[in-house]
Amino acid sequence: MKIAVLPGDGIGSEIVAQAAKVLEALRREGLKIEMEYAHIGGVGYDVAGDPFPAATEKLALASDAVLLGAVGGYQYDTLPRPMRPEQGLLRIRQGLGLFANLRPALVYPELVNASSLKPELVSGLDIMILRELTGDIYFGQPRGMRQLPNGERQGFDTMHYSESEIRRVAHVGFKIAMKRNKILCSVDKANVLDTSMFWREIVTDVAKEYPQVELSHMYVDNAAMQLVRAPKQFDVILTGNIFGDILSDEASMLTGSIGMLPSASLDANNKGLYEPCHGSAPDIAGKNIANPLATILSVAMMMRYTFAQEDIAQRIETAVRKTLQQGVRTADIAEAGMQKIGTAAMGDAVVAAL
Ligand code: IPM
Ligand code: MG
């Protein structure tokens, strides 16, 4: 298992260090795990003048999986766009062809009171958001700034989805639904956007190959509302890049903390990039208070999807559960009277439980 480890910026190095502890524990048991570190994001810019340095790209291409922390920091906000940390993330996703982004929103019984919604709305919640990750308005050309004939300046982007892009991610969605409750909701804005009308047509066509899956379509504004009104109606949500970006942040709050949400970004052969859904949180970087569980749970996803080691994936998830059951919490998920521990101690607690 050759893993490229890219801690990135902000809290990235602290949380990735905890996930690395889990990988090291597995290696001590005899798993053949090889980890090699490289830079991405702001630190890539600092060290190599590029948020996605050539050396990092080479390492990522030569690895089976990538473990990533987070990118971004205030000091980079004024750089020209190609040098911004976020470009590192977008380029590695596109460069590795990671079109299927899995963002599970799972409510642990221990954290049901940490959610911003009433416990009865979220207790037992288990949604899989599948976000297309390499197309849509994120990558569409042309884009930029232009001058209109009347002299006014205009910013513009292009939204488009090709048939093959929709088909391949839809197949992933239906296959995931087949392994779950066989309910798939495709989210779009087909009442306004041509791109979405086409999306709906293709998803409906792919559905014919999965007659056991119950397919529904929902407009994205309604989906945003339904997620906070009655989130348990969803099993798998399939959606495009920008809608998935927004809905997955919303869904994270159902689970109590964005610090709990892992993700997997897969190519056609299950090579994957694994990262927490949250950002680099520069305001709390270096303070040893960030929650490393989303990153540790991303390692579980890596074992499941890239290395097909379901047993190990479940052991890591169980270890996280046990740690929560012991009542230890990082600050973001702590309730009154509970023992608050730091990032490193949480990593140690999970390794001990493992
Ligand atoms: C995410 C993030 C990224 C995105 C940013 C940092 C470019 O918000 O992974 O959801 O928009 O995809
Ligand atoms: Mg986002």
Q: Is the peptide bond before 142 cis (omega within 30 degrees of 0)?
A: yes
**Whether residue 233 has pLDDT greater than 90:** yes
Could you give the CA distance from residue 351 to residue 115 in angstroms, rounded to a whole number?
26
All structural domains of the chain with their residue ranges:
1-99+267-354, 104-256
Dihedral over alpha carbons 268, 274, 278, 282 (to 10 degrees): -130
The predicted pLDDT at position 88 comes to 96
Distance of CA 146 to the CA centre of its chain: 33
The predicted pLDDT at position 342 comes to 97
Number of neighbours of residue 218 by Cβ within 10 angstroms: 19
User: Which CATH number does the domain 1-99+267-354 belong to among 1.10.10.10, 3.90.1150.10, 3.40.718.10, 3.40.50.10540?
Assistant: 3.40.718.10
Could you give the CA distance from residue 190 to residue 217 in angstroms, rounded to a whole number?
9
Two domains, one topology: 1-99+267-354 and 104-256: yes
The DSSP symbol for 161 reads: -
Could you give the CA distance from residue 162 to residue 274 in angstroms, rounded to a whole number?
26
Residues assigned a catalytic role: 138, 189, 221, 245, 249
Domain 104-256 listed as CATH 3.90.25.10: no
Q: Give me ligand 1 centre to Cα 45, in Å.
A: 18
Could you give the CA distance from residue 252 to residue 259 in angstroms, rounded to a whole number?
8
Section 237-264 average pLDDT = 93
In this structure, which amino acid lies at residue 289?
I
Residue 337: pLDDT band (50, 70, 90) is confident
Residue nearest to atom 4 of ligand 1 (CA): 245
For residue range 59-103, what is the model confidence (pLDDT) as tens digits?
999 999 999 999 999 999 999 999 999 999 999 999 999 999 999
Section 158-173 average pLDDT = 98
Task: Among 71, 245, 298, name the best residue to mutate to test ligand 1's pocket (greatest count of ligand atoms within 8 A of Cβ).
Answer: 245
Length reported for the chain = 354
For the entire predicted model, the pTM comes to 0.94
CB-based pocket (< 6 A), ligand 1: 86, 89-90, 245
Residue 245 CA: nearest ligand 1 atom is 10
Residue 249 CA: nearest ligand 1 atom is 10
The predicted pLDDT at position 257 comes to 83
